[in-house]
Structure 1
């Protein structure tokens, strides 16, 4: 119940943000992520294609692509797992029933995260211990459970909190980037 209420409150606040606020946040987040040493030396990064209300990943993905970094993006599978494709900015993108943008391309398999230097994940909030509050379907908890790579959530500044509701199966992240900068989970 606490998770559902927190999700509703956070989504309401996100929807109230203007397009200009979201665009400014996306640019600032991209600059902070790109300056992070693990990303600066990365050869392959997994990153989601953001939905309208999420912190935008467009500037980050474009900059990674310009650097020659292979960017993997997720595809949602019916069994609530994620497959991955190498992002091609020229490939057509469709939108799933859940409103998630997904590109075409050769599927790399659910274990492709193992080849990534860092995984950029969506979240509605993260607390100071790295507990991530997602949308509730568990796609990223399942994907990250077997991955042995650094995970980083992108948030708006007010979504980094002292504590968020969490359960034992929720996979924690090691870093959070907001428009204000980088937070490393102790």
Structure 2
């Protein structure tokens, strides 16, 4: 299966999920991520603001903020590059060029990931060896080059697969969290 075919199939399955199923998944994912020791020790975590069809990150971000963890979220720049902003729920957000919410705030630069205890990344699927299938624009593969913090993908249970199509430039993750729990990549 090609990346394009896999993306089409996975996106169709996401669109078929009910809002209630998505909300339940978001709550379960938040509980599992918050229980991961590296997350529990982190002072700063990078996370993304989820789109409606993605596993929701709202409960996770709220839980991190309640613990006093600084959460930095991406904003997309021209050239398929990400910058990072400290998330403040009271700060206004705008819809970015990719249709993703992006908060206003001081840009922290690509180096912001160097001070993160863990980086939570979006994915359409993750396989048992840590290969992550994204949406295809390469924003995260560029941003994650050289990042030493553990990388954690968040996916629905059916998106943790034995294998996903990947290429040599794709940055693998160290773990995946689904509503059913944590999957550590061997």
Answer yes or no: is 1:98 the counterpart of 2:103.
no
Residues 16-62 of structure 1, C-alpha deviations (whole Å, 9 max, x = no match): 00000000000000000000000011100000000000000000000
Which residue of structure 2 lines up, in the alignment, with residue 116 of structure 1?
116
Answer yes or no: is 1:146 the counterpart of 2:142.
no
- Alignment partners' CA distance in 2, 1:96 and 1:61: 19
- Alignment partners' CA distance in 1, 2:159 and 2:76: 25
Question: TM-score, normalising length from structure 1?
Answer: 0.99
Tell me the SS of whatever aligns to 2:105: coil
Query: Which runs of 5 or more structure 2 residues have no equivalent in the other structure?
Result: none
Residues 99-133 of structure 1, C-alpha deviations (whole Å, 9 max, x = no match): 11100010000121001000000000000000000
The answer to which of 92-101 and 38-47 deviates more is 92-101
Large movers: runs of 4+ above 2 Å: none
Q: How does 1:6-155 map to 2 (within 5 A)?
A: 6-155=6-155
Tell me the SS of whatever aligns to 2:129: coil
Aligned-pair CA distance for 1:146: 2.0
Q: Kindly tell me the number of residue pairs found equivalent between the two proteins.
A: 186
- Alignment partners' CA distance in 2, 1:101 and 1:34: 23
Query: Which runs of 5 or more structure 1 residues have no equivalent in the other structure?
Result: none
